[in-house]
Amino acid sequence: MGIDPGLTRCGLSVVQAGRGRAVLPISVGVLRTPSDAELSERLLSISAGVREWIADYQPDVIAIERLFERGNVSTVIHTAHAVGVLILAAAELGIPVHHYTPSEVKKAISGNGRADKKQMTAMITRILGLSEAPKPADAADALALAVCHCWRAPVLARTASVAGHAGRPALAKERTQQP
């Protein structure tokens, strides 16, 4: 499951990893909360929404965008409130959460860490074999996060396994990110 977090629009996606680099799209959507509603109500709504998705699709793992420390700080704070609630929902249900920066996702999907939205949408449409481009951007981003994790997970698992056997302390921090 991929999550592009946000308080006003939160992109959610579910994919199934196949053999090699094959990824099957299962579902995609956007949770919305009205910007004039109280913060309490908005967080309740996001929490209930993501729990419903988790209950419906029972994901093995959740990939969520790591917040970037730039841009409008007020927006970042609002998004960070939503991220807290989203990660809590996953944690309460024992689902591991992986974080990816926007440039990690762009690089994994398009080979270019600075790909623009148009390029990313075209790539994700092609990778998943969709008949039309996913909309809005939050939905496409949620799918990109999910695909990014499908492709990165085997690499991360091997790294963790090698590090585990060799006990390399330099990789200790990376290992702790893998529940």
Per the annotation, binding residues for Mg(2+) are: 4, 65, 138
Whichever of 83 and 124 has its CB closer to a copy of itself, that residue is 83
**Rounded CA separation 68/82 (Å):** 14
Q: Which of residues 104-143 bind a copy of itself (CB under 8 A)?
A: none
CA distances from 52 to 8, 47, 58, 171 (A): 18, 9, 10, 35
The answer to whether residue 43 forms part of the interface with a copy of itself (CB under 8 A) is: yes
* Positions marked catalytic: 4, 65, 138
Q: Where are the beta strands (DSSP E) in 77-177?
A: 97-100
SS3 4: strand
Q: Which of residues 59-98 bind a copy of itself (CB under 8 A)?
A: 67, 69-70, 73-74, 76-77, 80-85, 87-88, 90-92, 96-97
Q: Which listed residue (18, 21, 22, 41) binds a copy of itself by CB under 8 A? A: 41
- Helix and strand numbers (H, E) in the chain are 6, 5
Shortest Cβ 82–a copy of itself spacing (Å): 6
